[in-house]
Amino acid sequence: MTIREQLEIRETTYLSPYATLSSKSKGRERPEEECDIRPVFQRDRDRILHCKSFRRLKQKTQVFLLPKGDHYRTRLTHTLEVSQNARTIAKALRLNEDLTEAIALGHDLGHTPFGHAGERALNQICPLGFRHHEQSVRVVERLERQGRGLNLTWEVRDGIRNHKSSGNPHTLEGQIVRLSDKIAYINHDIDDAIRGGILKETDIPEKFRRVLGQSPKVRLDTMVHNVIINSMDQPEIRMSPEVGEAMMGLRGFLFESVYQNPVAKGEEKKAIHMIKNLYEFYIDHLEVLPDQFLRMIDEDGESREQVVCDYIAGMTDTYAVKKFEEYFIPESWKI
């Protein structure tokens, strides 16, 4: 009996009846020989962790564009915080921690440079539209490994695709990540906003602080505990109505006070301008795209609009700026 088979048997005896068992996965699009050590979801987690798209998250904006300071979140640190919250909840509920972690680590792989500003720019200019959760699935199915994709299991791809509020994950592990994403960004975006002088703790409405706590640390602890308490031995992942309403109220406050704040978002118009100009440039100059993307058009019949979106969405903030300077700024003007 292999180590993997022993671990799969252990799952059947230890995990909750509501957990997704590795041995019961719906499988991969392309059948593969099983690993002798790792169950399928652990293997997926490892593939995501080692892929290039994951490494590029370290230079992609979370909320603050190119912040002056080393302690602001990036898309990578956001992803790690989502993963940590989700793993804590999954472990407490005896759900599949490997599946939860794989979904969490992969949920934002398709995010654009410059955060949601870049996402809005591509969605506005590309006739196909653009949504980062769908692009994250495209990354793992189509773009990674020079077009071969990561060939992840159905459950991981389902969780990535459905991590938005409007999504409907088919596993409790996917439901955990969908909720953990909100818990993470609500709390760390407040922390970053306070660090950046955009908010003070006392600016947060007292009705939310009274329910959730008087600091980001306490609020995070409250939310995670509340999910665990209300989801224990239940067929769904949920919060109590009081805490859930307070969390969504706090999210609404963030949109008004931070996400639309001219101090935090003053540079967004420039970022949107760059992304739109890059899109138009590549549409007219496909020959400058890397060979992998040209093959997708010439050999696979992908549309130029989709492939240009793929290329731009994969850029880091710094690479997008570099390409904009290369194409639009005269050499004599560059510093």
The DSSP secondary-structure symbol of 152 reads -
Q: Is the pLDDT of residue 66 over 70?
A: no
What value, to the nearest 5°, has the Cα angle with vertex 85 and ends 36 and 27? 35
Phi, psi of 71 (to 5 degrees): -110, 5
What value, to the nearest 5°, has the Cα angle with vertex 64 and ends 58 and 70? 55
Residues 118-146 have a mean pLDDT of 97
Q: Is the pLDDT of residue 68 over 90?
A: no
The pLDDT value given to residue 110: 97
Mean pLDDT of the chain: 94
What is the C-alpha to C-alpha distance for residues 5 and 7, in angstroms, rounded to an integer? 5
Residues 243-258 have a mean pLDDT of 94
Give residue-wise pLDDT tens across range 202-214. 999 999 999 999 9
* Both structure tokens of 163: 């991590």
Least confident of 60-64, 287-291, 318-322: 60-64
- Name which residue leads in pLDDT, 265 or 71: 71
3-state secondary structure of 49: helix
Residues 124-153 have a mean pLDDT of 97
Q: Is the pLDDT of residue 65 over 70?
A: no
The pLDDT value given to residue 218: 96
* Both structure tokens of 95: 């759900």
Q: Is the pLDDT of residue 335 over 80?
A: no
DSSP 303-321: -HHHHHHHHHHT--HHHHH
Q: Is the pLDDT of residue 265 over 70?
A: no
The pLDDT value given to residue 70: 73
pTM: 0.96
What is the C-alpha to C-alpha distance for residues 194 and 202, in angstroms, rounded to an integer? 10
- Name which residue leads in pLDDT, 243 or 333: 243
Least confident of 64-73, 114-123, 193-202, 294-303: 64-73
The pLDDT value given to residue 108: 97
Please give the domain boundaries of the chain with CATH numbers for all domains: 3-19+37-265 (1.10.3210.10), 270-333 (no CATH)
Count of all residues that appear for the chain in the document? 335
Residue 335 burial by Cβ neighbours in a 10 Å radius (0-12, 13-18, 19+):
exposed
Give residue-wise pLDDT tens across range 69-95. 677 889 999 999 999 999 999 999 999
Give residue-wise pLDDT tens across range 279-313. 999 999 999 999 999 999 999 999 999 999 999 99
Q: Is the pLDDT of residue 25 over 60?
A: yes
What is the C-alpha to C-alpha distance for residues 42 and 44, in angstroms, rounded to an integer? 5
The confidence band for 196, taking pLDDT boundaries of 50, 70 and 90, is confident
What is the C-alpha to C-alpha distance for residues 107 and 164, in angstroms, rounded to an integer? 9
The confidence band for 156, taking pLDDT boundaries of 50, 70 and 90, is very high
Which among 324, 331, 165, 177 is positioned nearest to 248, based on CA atoms? 165
